[in-house]
Amino acid sequence: MKTTRRKFLSSSGAATAALGFPSIIPSSALGNADRPAPSNRIVMGGIGIGNMGRGDHGAFLGKNDVQYVAICDVRKGAMNQGKAKTDAKYGNKDCKAHDDYRELLSRDDIDAVHIATPDHWHAQIIIEACRHGKDVFCQKPESLTLGEGSLMVETAKRYGRVVSGGSQRVLQDYKGTVLRCWNGSYGKVKSINVNVGPMSKPCNLPSENVPDDMNWEMWLGPAPWAPYNSKRCSGSFSTSGNSWRSYIDYSGGGMTDWGAHHFGGATFAVDVRELQPNEVILDEIDGKKFVSLRYPNGIEITHNKPGVGQMHVGKGEGQRKGKEVPKYAGSGGITGDFIDCVKTRAKPFRHIEYAINTMAVPHLTVAAYKLNRSLKWDAAKQEFIGDAEANRLRNRARREPWQI
Amino acid sequence: MLDQALESLKIYEWGVDPKAVKSIQDAVVASHGDAAARKKLESTLADVLSTDVPRAAKDIVCRALKTIGTAHSVPALAKLLHDEELSHMARHALQTNDAPEAVKALVGAIDKASKKIKIGIISSLGARGTGVPVAPLAKTLTDKDAEISTAGALALGAIGSTDAAKALGSAKVNDTNRIAVCDAMLHCAENMLAHGKKADAKAIYGTVLKIGPTKAAKIAADLGVKASA
């Protein structure tokens, strides 16, 4: 008997068969040259359909091997728009709209989800999705704290899930640098510099009336309680006070938002995606502070090193044997890579472990700036060495009743 | 500057520019390595918690105590644990406080806490991972409210010890807490594997398979059985 994609991903095929087939089977249900049969499509839902979520929704909806069945957002407007767009695509009313992601995750018919909520929700939803047996595509930055990162990696591994981060720029924006590092043109690479910022800051915006279409308690979720303010929860790309990306409780600011791309490109270029730094050195040149992150293999990533350009590569001595640059699986960029990996169970390009190793870079950098001192990091134990105070920064208590 | 910031706390409502209290965070960083300055700062901040300053001000104080808190500030924070508005920020400070007194305060607050707050306290104990007694969390597994037993299970999983695994093995599993109990046991088994205790890990995976796991947990337990062979 031929094994379908759906049977391969889950054993729910028997339950579907028990419901029986309709007497008239549309050609689309059997698949055709353009579209696989439903049993071979990846059934997906989306959680967080604002700015980046809208783009991801469109990307997955546009794939012939995806059947999009559910939308979730805490803003009714975004939720209804997402449902309408999905229904229009398929010419039916089948997309179910949810305002609580837990309802969506509990559905047995969904294979995979994409997540584009604010960052303070990422770990909670990724971990719960894995516990429900879903594969996950999550927008960057994947983690808000160091502690969340290791939990996400552990959980994905525990359940054998395909979990991909969502920085499309890592492979696309730094091609020249990456190629020269990987093909050996630079010889042995010693260092790379990333210029990015700012760090997120405390938020104390005044209270405003909660709009009728907003579930404010769910927007806040595990973050500390605060009154509604439109700037506090705006999904705009500002990191200077006009969106959640500016504020500590929801984001690491530009350091993690653009940092996920730039540090992602840097770690990829110098080939340390499988590692985390073990030293975080706070230094100063002409009164300007900067951070150097040293890896166990001797490679160094610097942050905002004065006088050094973006993605500038420091060349070491000796030759490096050229290697082929990794690329996406399948077609359709990073979302296509994810779908292909869901089918093959291979590691996606921004596999969660690589994503978390990348995110460790800005998190460690921020810790050094905040504490105003150099730090040593034990990646295996996921703890700072000999610095109890720094270790307190690894985790934050989650607002009740949220727990991971 | 610090005195000014402390004075500003009295009227620090939502909407006030955070720069007014920035000196508190600066003092936290500047006092690193100066035990006397730290003690004084901690004491001053802990005292603020018993005053009637606005909620936003107590929020700021708890954030500072998260970094510098010792046993000294535990009593002031513990008094906030049953406060619906401030319990979370009190936990924010207590969860990472290394003093055993912080654990004692969290454990001591479980029984009289409302459901939502109880879940929060249980989650903070789990997040601490080490130095947390298993018995009070094991007790929550028998709670009639499945959301509380779910929280207890996840916390025990995060602790991951032999005793935690034993408690989880005797948990009453229902449809509400099944995912959490399975996940917690899987977590414990991984901890055993990480410590080279393959037989113990295999036994836990076996228990997961016996209790009627979810589809996802069955896949995980099967993977675990292979890993512990």
- At residue A7 the predicted structure's pLDDT band, cuts being 50, 70 and 90, is low
Size of interface A-B (CB pairs under 8 A): 116
Same domain, B55 and B124: no
pLDDT of residue A31: 61
Domain ranges of chain A: 5-168, 170-199+254-394
Please tell me whether residues B104 and B130 are part of one structural domain.
Answer: no
* Token pair of B115 as six digits: 């459901």
Determine the Cα–Cα distance for residues A141 and A75; give it in Å rounded to an integer: 21
Long-range contact set of residues B35-41: C-beta below 8 Å, sequence gap at least 24: B38/B68, B39/B70, B39/B72, B41/B2, B41/B68
Nearest to A207 among B12, B14, B119 (CB): B14
* pLDDT at position A12: 33
Q: Domain check: are B53 and B102 in the same one?
A: yes
Q: Which of A107, A151, A158, A208 to mutate to test the interface with B (most CBs of B within 10 A)?
A: A158
Q: Using CA coordinates, name the residue in chain B closest to A151.
A: B158
State both tokens at B181.
């109990």
List chain B residues with CB under 8 Å of A403.
119, 122-123, 126, 151, 154-155
Report d(CA A329, CA A138) in Å as an integer.
17
Mean pLDDT across A187-215? 97
Pairing of strands A189-194, A300-303: parallel
C-alpha dihedral sign at A300, A301, A303, A308: positive
By Cβ distance, the residue of B29, B60, B117 closest to A400 is B117
Residue A23 has pLDDT above 70, yes or no: no
For residues A23-36, average pLDDT? 58
- Sort out which chain B residues have CB atoms less than 8 A from A160's CB and list them: 219-220, 223
Distance CA A332, CA A217 (A): 36
In the block, residue with structure tokens 């700015």: A51
Residues of chain B found within 8 Å of residue A404, distances taken between Cβ atoms: 154
User: Do B152 and B127 share a structural domain?
Assistant: yes
Boundary-marking domain end, from B80, B112, B144 = B112
Question: Is B187's Cβ below 8 Å from some Cβ in A?
Answer: yes
Q: Classify residue A385 by its DSSP letter.
A: T
Domain shared by B131 and B170, yes or no: yes
The DSSP bridge pattern shows strands A112-115 and A96-98 to be unpaired
Q: Is residue B110 classed as helix, strand or coil in its secondary structure?
A: helix
Number of domains in chain B: 2
Boundary residue ending a domain (B112, B136, B154): B112
Name every residue whose Cβ is closer than 8 Å to that of residue B153 and which is 6 or more positions away in sequence: B141, B168, B171, B177, B180, B181, B183, B184
Residue B5 sits in the same domain as residue B94:
yes
Mean pLDDT of A118-129: 98
Phi then psi for A26, rounded to 5 degrees? -65, 150
In chain B, positions 50-69, which contact chain A (CB-CB < 8 Å)?
56, 59-60, 63, 66-68
Q: Which among B15, B126, B216 has CB closest to A133?
A: B216
Chain A touched by B96 (CB under 8 Å):
yes
Q: Which of B29, B116, B187 sits opposite A400 (nearest CB)?
A: B116
- The single-letter DSSP state of residue A347 is P
Helix H or strand E encompassing A178? helix A175-182
User: Which residue segment(s) compose the domain that B143 sits in?
Assistant: 114-229
CA neighbours closer than 13 Å in the CB half-sphere of residue A209: 3
- The total of other beta-carbon atoms located within 10 Å of residue A325's CB is 15
Is the pLDDT at A22 greater than 50? The verdict is no
Confidence of residue A15 (pLDDT cuts 50, 70, 90): very low
How many CB atoms within 10 Å of residue A335? 23
Angle at A146 between CA A144 and CA A149, to 5 degrees: 80
Q: Which residues of chain B from 11 to 50 reach within 8 Å of chain A, CB to CB?
A: 12, 14-18, 29, 32
Residues B79 and B119 in one domain: no
pLDDT of residue A8: 59
Chain A residues close to B12, C-beta within 8 Å: 204
Residue spans of alpha helices (H) in A19-145:
27-30, 51-61, 76-90, 101-105, 122-131
C-alpha distance from A403 to closest chain B C-alpha (Å)? 6
Q: What is the spatial distance between Cα B151 and Cα B140, in angstroms, rounded to a whole number? A: 8
Give the closest residue to A403 by CA, choosing from B158, B77, B133: B158
Using a CB–CB cutoff of 8 Å, tell me whether A133 touches chain B. yes
Q: Convert the pLDDT of each residue in A228-261 to its tens digit.
A: 999 999 999 999 999 999 999 999 999 999 999 9
Alpha-carbon distance of A16 to A19, in angstroms, equals: 5
- CA distance, residue A302 to nearest chain B CA (Å): 23
CATH assignment of the domain containing B167: 1.25.10.10
Q: What pLDDT shows up at residue A325? A: 96
Q: What is d(CA B172, CA B17) in angstroms, rounded to the nearest whole number?
A: 50
Looking at residue A402, its pLDDT comes to 98
- Say whether both B77 and B27 belong to one domain: yes
Q: Pick the more confident residue, A26 or B159.
A: B159
**Given B29, B155, B219, which is nearest A372 (Cβ)?**
B29
Average pLDDT over chain A, rounded to whole?
92
The per-residue pLDDT for range B20-69, each reduced to its tens digit, is: 999 999 999 999 999 999 999 999 999 999 999 999 999 999 999 999 99
Please report the pLDDT score of residue A6 as a whole number: 60
Q: How far apart are CA B209 and CA B225, in angstroms?
A: 10
B126–A contact, CB cutoff 8 A: yes
Do B186 and A158 lie within an 8 Å CB cutoff? yes
ipTM of predicted complex: 0.97
How far apart CA B206 and CA A35 sit, in angstroms, is 42
Quick one: B95 and B138 in the same domain? no
CA–CA distance, B47 with B57 (Å, rounded to integer): 12
A163-202 burial string, b = 16+ CB within 10 Å, else e?
bbbbbbebbebbeebbebbbeeebeebebbbbbbbebbbe
Task: Identify the residue whose tokens are 């105003």.
Answer: A372
DSSP code at position B21: G
Nearest CB neighbour to A401, from listed B116, B214, B219? B116
Q: How far apart are CA A304 and CA A283, in angstroms?
A: 11
The terminus-to-terminus CA distance of chain B in angstroms comes to 62
Which residues of chain B have a CB within 8 Å of the CB of A8?
none
CB contact at 8 A, B117 and B150: no
- CATH class (in words) of the domain with range A170-199+254-394: alpha beta
Name the minimum distance, in Å, from the CA of B16 to any CA of chain A: 6
Q: Do B92 and A205 touch (CB under 8 A)?
A: no
- Give which of A323, A350, A341 is closest to A164, Cα–Cα: A350
Instruction: Please give the pLDDT value at position B177.
Output: 94
Strands A66-72 and A375-378, by their bridges, are unpaired
Q: For residue A289, give Cα distances in angstroms to A283, A292, A310, A368, A384.
A: 6, 10, 16, 11, 21
Please judge whether B67 and A159 are an interchain contact, meaning their C-beta atoms are less than 8 angstroms apart: no
Are B56 and A242 spatial neighbours (Cβ–Cβ below 8 Å)?
no
The pLDDT of residue A25: 47
Among B91, B112, B133, give the residue marking a domain's end: B112
Reduce the DSSP state of residue B162 to 3 states and report it: helix
Whether B15 sits inside 8 A of A207 (CB atoms) is yes
- Cβ A225–B88 below 8 Å, yes or no? yes
**Chain A residues 24-43 with a CB less than 8 Å from chain B:** none
B170 and B229 inside one domain: yes
Residue in A with minimal Cα distance to B186 = A158
pLDDT band (50, 70, 90) for residue A13: very low
- List the single residue in A with minimal CA-CA distance to B93: A397
pLDDT band at A316 (very low <50, low <70, confident <90, very high): confident
- Residues on chain A touching B216 (C-beta within 8 angstroms): 130-133, 159
Q: Does B3 touch chain A (CB under 8 A)?
A: no
The whole-number pLDDT of residue A5 equals 59
The bridge status of strand A66-72 relative to strand A96-98 is parallel
Same domain, B194 and B160: yes
Inter-chain touch B91–A397, beta carbons under 8 Å: yes
For chain A, positions 175-214, list CB contacts with chain B under 8 A: 201-207
**Which helix (H) or strand (E) is B126 found in, with range?**
helix B115-128
> Within 10 Å of residue B18's Cβ, how many Cβ atoms?
15
Phi-psi region of A176 (alpha: psi -120 to 50; beta: other; left: phi over 0): alpha
Q: Give the whole-angstrom CA distance, residue A222 versus residue A218.
A: 9
pLDDT value at position A302? Answer: 98
Asked if A38 and A32 touch (Cβ cutoff 8 Å), the reply is no
Rounded Cα distance between B122 and B79, Å, is 17
CA distance B61 to chain A (A): 13
Q: What is the pLDDT of residues B136-155, one digit of tens each?
A: 999 999 999 999 999 999 99
Choose the closest CB to B215 out of A10, A130, A201: A10
Tokens 């419901």 belong to A19
Average pLDDT, chain B: 97
Q: Which residues share a beta bridge with A166? A: A139
Question: Is residue A205 helix, strand or coil?
Answer: coil
pLDDT at residue A321, rounded to an integer? 87
Within 8 A of B32 by CB-CB distance, chain A residues are: 371-373, 389
Provide, as residue numbers in chain B, all residues whose Cβ is less than 8 Å from the Cβ of A216: none
- pLDDT for position A39: 85
H or E segment at A66?
Answer: strand A66-72
| Architecture of the domain spanning A5-168 | 3-Layer(aba) Sandwich (3.40)
Give the CA angle between residues B169, B172, B176 to the nearest 5°. 115
Same domain, B106 and B119: no
How far does the CA of residue B135 sit from the closest CA of chain A (Å)?
Answer: 20
Provide DSSP, A134-159: -EEEEESP--SSHHHHHHHHHHHHHT
Q: Do A395 and B96 touch (CB under 8 A)?
A: yes
